[in-house]
Amino acid sequence: MDSLILKLVLTPALIGIASLAGRRWGPAVSGWLVGLPLTSGPIAFFLALSSGRAFATAAATGILTGTLSQAAFSLAYAWPARRLGWPRSLAAGCLAFGAVTFALEYLLLPIGYLFVIAVATLVLTLRLLPARAKGRALFAVTPPRWDLPARMVVATGFVVLLTASASALGPHLTGLLSPFPIYASILTIFAHHEQGSGAATNVLRGLLLGLFAFASFFLVLGTLLEPLGIAPAFALAVVAALLVQGASLWVLRRGQQHLMPT
């Protein structure tokens, strides 16, 4: 019961704070924010509490591997979006995520190798995205009133459902499913609908930049959780993610400044 209460309080609080901060700077920065492990981090934390550090370590390795699925989602959404509406673009992204997740279920490598593969995949995916869209309006979107409550409800439901199913799914598959880009999808769809494919691509570019911190978080967590324990491992993982996230924000803001009209 205590764990359930914590899920019902911690998860919506994290999503609410990140969402409100992202609204100040628009879709690209919002995408960057949701690249943080806002659901996968709590899922790993609750798994460590309920199923033990070994189970959570294996799940963290699976979550890190799932970075590749998020990259596939971004690329599969961005290119069809140049010609198609958001429903078919979203379908393409979800199919890509599912196909890559299915393939990755059989990829079992040491976490250090997986981190290198994830970083290389993110760099390549950023290069393969459609060209940046120009225009100041692409960086400021006013979301509907239902957006924030919907994100908080969906986030909490996803965390509760996946942690409850973890014992049946196993740690690796639980980890692979955890990074499904729920919030990035919401942000991307809204930007696509309101401002077109360029704004949607900006969200996805921000997401990919944020995923460097995501991968760093789970590299540290998966390496240190068993030898150090829950509190020290999560604390160090958060520090690593924030350091990398700060560097990726500098890259993102620099790219935005080059595109702002003069």
Judge whether 211 lies within some domain: yes
Judge whether 13 lies within some domain: no
Judge whether 17 lies within some domain: no
pLDDT for 199: 79
Judge whether 171 lies within some domain: yes
Handedness of CA 247, 251, 252, 258 (dihedral sign): positive
Cβ 101 vs Cβ 176: under 8 Å: yes
Give the count of domains, the chain. 1
Judge whether 21 lies within some domain: no
Helix (H) or strand (E) holding 113: helix 111-128
Cβ 82 vs Cβ 197: under 8 Å: yes
Over 90: is that where the pLDDT of 261 sits? Answer: no
SS3 for 238-261, per residue? Answer: HHHHHHHHHHHHHHHHHHHHHHCC
The mean pLDDT value for 144-154 works out to: 68
* pTM to 2 decimal places: 0.76
Judge whether 14 lies within some domain: no
Cβ 175 vs Cβ 65: under 8 Å: yes
Q: Any long-range contacts for 147-152 (C-beta under 8 Å, 24+ apart)?
A: 147/19, 147/186, 147/190, 148/16, 148/19, 148/20, 150/186, 151/15, 151/16, 151/19, 151/182, 151/183, 151/186, 152/11, 152/12, 152/15, 152/16
What domain range is 159 assigned to? 28-137+144-259
Q: For residue 114, which phi and psi values (nearest 5 degrees)?
A: -65, -35
Summarize the chain as % helix, strand, coil (round to 5).
85, 0, 15
212-231 pLDDT tens trace: 989 999 999 999 999 999 99
Over 80: is that where the pLDDT of 97 sits? Answer: yes
Over 60: is that where the pLDDT of 136 sits? Answer: no
Over 90: is that where the pLDDT of 96 sits? Answer: yes
18-32 pLDDT tens trace: 556 556 655 556 666
Over 50: is that where the pLDDT of 139 sits? Answer: no
In the chain, the percentage of residues whose pLDDT exceeds 90 is: 24
In the chain, the percentage of residues whose pLDDT exceeds 70 is: 68
Judge whether 15 lies within some domain: no
